[in-house]
Structure 1
Amino acid sequence: MSAQLRFGVWALVYGNWASFHHPEDPVDASWERNKRQILEAEQLGYDTTLIAQHVVNPFGEEHDQLDAWTAAAGLAALTERIEIIAAIKPYLYHPVVLAKQALQIEEISGGRFGINLVNAWFKPELERAGIGFAEHDARYAYGTEWLTVVRGLLSGERTTFHGEHFHVDDYLLKPASRTRERPAVYLGGESDPARALAAEQADTWFINGQPQQDVHALIKDVAGRPRTGDPLRYALSAFVIARETEAEAREVLAYQWELAEKGQATWDGLVAKADPKAVMFQTFAKHPHIGTNGGTAAGLVGSYDQVAQRILEFHELGISTLMLQFQPFESEQRRFAHEVIPRFRALSP
């Protein structure tokens, strides 16, 4: 168990993270809302935020979508303490260009930046742009080469790489990080190629929300794979519904399911456009949930004390970062900071 659990929030890049029909949570993916959300999260004591990357909104192209990388640069300049993590799909950026952008945001933030490599699952985003959508394992082969180049450049190394997809000769980027070796590298995905890549090259592996026994099995598998350097850390996504009593929380959960039924056609349309080999969606089918990336399947639904206890149990399994979703987001972000985090700290000082 790591010394201290870090709490993070997902930036509102889609406009919200559950129902588009919630009367108290407008679908608003604007820069202004995201800026207010993350500045308040920092003030409330959250340690990190994740900015998911899509060019178009997968819930419908008629909806706004915040750009991850320009938003990350803006947030890096406006904040003082919170870590900024920007997701990246390797096919969208050449590794040399991306590494340069990442190092610039590292400079802007004063050493608080991280990249989260994800293997794209939303096919129209790449297909309609003419980029093409390669087969699942081929995307990971591409991503492995991509990350190899990026890691070297992020570390300030003079980089030469010749592979199937990239040919880089004697490339050096300056300035490199002035505060540490390089920006942090996160990786999402639960397929076997994703697990192997996480063990080989990531600093932290993101796990989708799911029951504790499943999280334990995933950590055990990846921890047993070959690795050099510091031990791999583990992060978990979760959607939180916490109230004074378990009955109140269950009532809110029931209401969220009612709202989810109104949006079922939208969700079905999203799944139809996703890569069927994406393990994430196979996991979702086993564990119905509210929110994205596993959401309430992590079990953080209950009284303040129950949720704090379950978080402690995840921490004891090896989770070092929780990346959280709520609805309505801003008010529940405050509730969690005021009611659950202090209870967790009391359990795990």
Structure 2
Amino acid sequence: MSQPLRFGVWALVHGSRAALQDPAEPYDASWARNKALVLEAERLGYDSVLVAQHTINPHDPSLDQLEAWTASAALAALTSRIEIIAAIKPYLYHPAVLAKMAQQIEHISGGRFAINLVNAWNRPELERAGIGFAEHDERYAYGREWITVVDALLRGEALTHRGDNFRIDDYQLRPADPFRARPRIYVGGESEPARSLVAAHGDVWFINGQPHDDVAALIADVSARPRPAGHDALRFGLSAFVIARETQSEADAHLEHLFALAELDKPLRERQKANIDPNAVMHQTFARSARVGSNGGTAAGLVGDYDTVARRIAEFHRAGIELFMLQFQPFEADMARFAEEVMPRVRRLLD
């Protein structure tokens, strides 16, 4: 394979990923839990952790919500090997301020930091703060200019910029990155503006969980787009919720159990629909199939016995997926089970 196989986990920034009312996994989005989870993920051999950014809980504003960037800085100091990916919504931070924060976490981590650019879908988070919630394509235009500024500043360039949203005069950040040209940039979103943005500015495209053939088609589309001079070939990551058990019947039973638990959250999710941008392709994709988990969840098909899940991961990898960003429930127990049972099987298949 031209790219290494990597496995990552989603930090539990707003609690459980499949169902919020699970007796086996009480709701807990605390810093203490997330610190312990990421340290254990590093010990188990996971390569990355994604810390999603929300200032208020996207499910229910009364529930706890971990703050992504302060948590990522702390994780950078506590870990030694795992890549720390912090999501960022451009409207929440001026690009010069965010670039400096990213540069500092890059130094704290020793060159293990990355940005995940997302252009927001949760309306109240911005509207209730008085920031405003622009239309879909306008958000992407803003995000494109925003990441242009951040990219240049992270590279240590002296930047003068005149755009629709920002005016910057001879701005330069020091100290520069001693580890590489700049931290890695991940980009999420599957709309046409998102695909154009990732081709122009991303290093890795995060694809939401969906079947193999759909993922292969997305990879083919974006791989064919021109890249700026000097940029490496684009790489690809996939979000997926995993249920791996000794037998298929055990995996199916646990999936049905999670579906039943998720039904308890149905009133909350119905209220949440009013907060979602209907033009967000991510949510249009999710509506095509029943699933549990966020960002596509079980739609990627990683539900089954250990050998079946390993085989499907190998097939995704051969199609071009380098990084698998995984969710589980119960998270800690299934994260350990996956590391012990599935990771070795996948690597044997790819040897």
TM-score range, shorter chain: over 0.9
Q: Pick which of 216-225 and 45-54 moved more.
A: 216-225
In 1, Cα distance between equivalents of 2:314 and 2:2: 11
Structure 1 residues 57-98: Cα deviation after superposition (integer angstroms, max 9, x where no partner): 011011000000000000000000000000000000000000
**Does the alignment pair 1:8 with 2:8?**
yes
CA distance in 2 between partners of 1:57 and 1:225 (Å):
36
Counterpart residue number, 1:148: 148
SS in 2 for 1:237: strand
Q: Determine if the alignment matches structure 1 residue 328 to structure 2 residue 336.
A: no
Shift of 1:26: 1.2
* Structure 1 residue aligned with 2:270: 268
Aligned to 1:306: 308
Once the two structures are TM-superposed, the CA of residue 122 in structure 1 deviates from its matched residue by 0.2
- Paired position in structure 2 for 1:277: 279
Question: 1:231 Cα deviation (Å)?
Answer: 0.3
How far did 1:287 drift?
2.1
Q: Could you say which residue in structure 2 is the equivalent of 1:17? A: 17
Q: Which SS does the other structure have where 1:25 is aligned? A: coil
State the partner residue of 1:67: 67
TM (norm. structure 2) is: 0.98
The alignment's TM-score, normalised by the length of structure 1, stands at 0.99
Query: 1:54·1:68 contact (CA, 8 Å) conserved in 2?
Result: yes
Residue type of the alignment partner of 1:13: V
What percentage of aligned pairs have identical amino acids? 63
Deviation, 1:2, is: 3.1
**1:180 matched to which residue of 2?**
180
Tell me the amino acid that sits aligned with residue 297 of structure 1. Answer: A
**What is the correspondence of 1:91-240 to structure 2 with a 5 Å cutoff?**
91-228=91-228, 229-240=231-242
> Counterparts of 1:284 and 1:70 in 2: how far apart (Å)?
30
Distance (whole Å) between structure 1 residues aligned to residue 254 and residue 2 of structure 2: 32
RMSD, aligned α-carbons:
0.7
Please give the secondary structure, in 2, of the residue aligned with 1:286.
Answer: coil
Runs of 4+ in structure 1 displaced over 4 angstroms?
A: none
Partner of 2:76: 76
> Hey, what's the Cα distance between the residues in 1 that align with 2:186 and 2:289?
24
Paired amino acid for 2:189? G
In structure 2, the gaps of 5 or more residues are none
Deviations 1:155-211 (A, max 9, x none): 111111110001111110011211111000000000000000000010000000000
SS in 2 for 1:20: coil
The number of residue pairs the alignment matches comes to 349
Given that residues 287 and 294 in structure 1 are in contact (C-alpha distance below 8 angstroms), is that contact kept between their aligned partners in structure 2?
A: no
The aligned counterpart of 1:86 is 86
Partner of 1:34: 34
Q: Is the 8 A contact 1:2 1:318 kept in 2?
A: no
Q: Contact (CA 8 Å) 1:126, 1:133: kept in 2 or not?
A: yes
Distance 2:49 2:39 in 1: 10
Paired residue type of 2:162: H
Tell me, yes or no, if the aligned pair for 1:30 and 1:64 is still in contact at 8 Å: yes
Q: Is the contact between residue 58 and residue 122 of structure 1 (CA under 8 Å) also seen in structure 2?
A: yes
**What's the counterpart of residue 58 of structure 1?**
58
Aligned mates of 1:152, 1:169 — CA distance in 2: 13
Structure 1: unaligned runs, 5 residues or longer: none
How far does residue 262 in structure 1 lie from its aligned partner after superposition? 1.1
How far 1:3 sits from its partner (Å)? 3.6
Counterpart amino acid of residue 329 in structure 2: Q
Preserved contact between residue 149 and residue 161 of structure 1 (Cα < 8 Å): yes
| 2:50 equivalent to 1:47 | no
* Cα drift, residue 235 of structure 1: 0.3
Amino acid at match of 1:274: I
1:272 positional shift: 1.8
